């Protein structure tokens, strides 16, 4: 059962990051002058870095909530 819970957390992290990446891209694009190629490159860079770091943070957060201490 524990492996299934870990897989579920990983899938939830991945699906959330895909959804949130669209939001982040839009926000960065709007705030950096959305009519230039530079703004699109900046938004893409932020999304790329953020997707990696926040996926790990979300997974860790999920696992902490599943810890016996919090049940």
Output the pLDDT for position 35: 65
The total number of residues shown for the chain amounts to: 71
Residue 43 sits at the vertex; the CA angle it makes with 41 and 44, to the nearest 5 degrees, is 65
**Span 3-19, pLDDT tens digits:** 678 888 888 888 888 88
**Span 13-48, pLDDT tens digits:** 888 888 888 888 888 888 887 668 888 888 888 888
Q: How many domains in the chain?
A: 1
Range of the domain at 19: 2-70
Cβ pair 56, 49 in contact under 8 A: no
Q: What sign has the CA pseudo-torsion 25, 58, 16, 6? A: positive
């Amino acid at each position: 059962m524990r492996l299934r819970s870990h897989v579920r957390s990983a899938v939830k992290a991945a699906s959330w990051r895909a959804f949130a990446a669209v939001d982040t891209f839009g926000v960065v694009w709007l705030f950096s002058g959305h009519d230039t190629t530079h703004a699109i490159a900046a938004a893409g860079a932020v999304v790329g870095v953020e997707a990696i770091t926040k996926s790990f943070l979300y997974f860790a957060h999920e696992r902490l909530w599943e810890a016996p201490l919090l049940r």
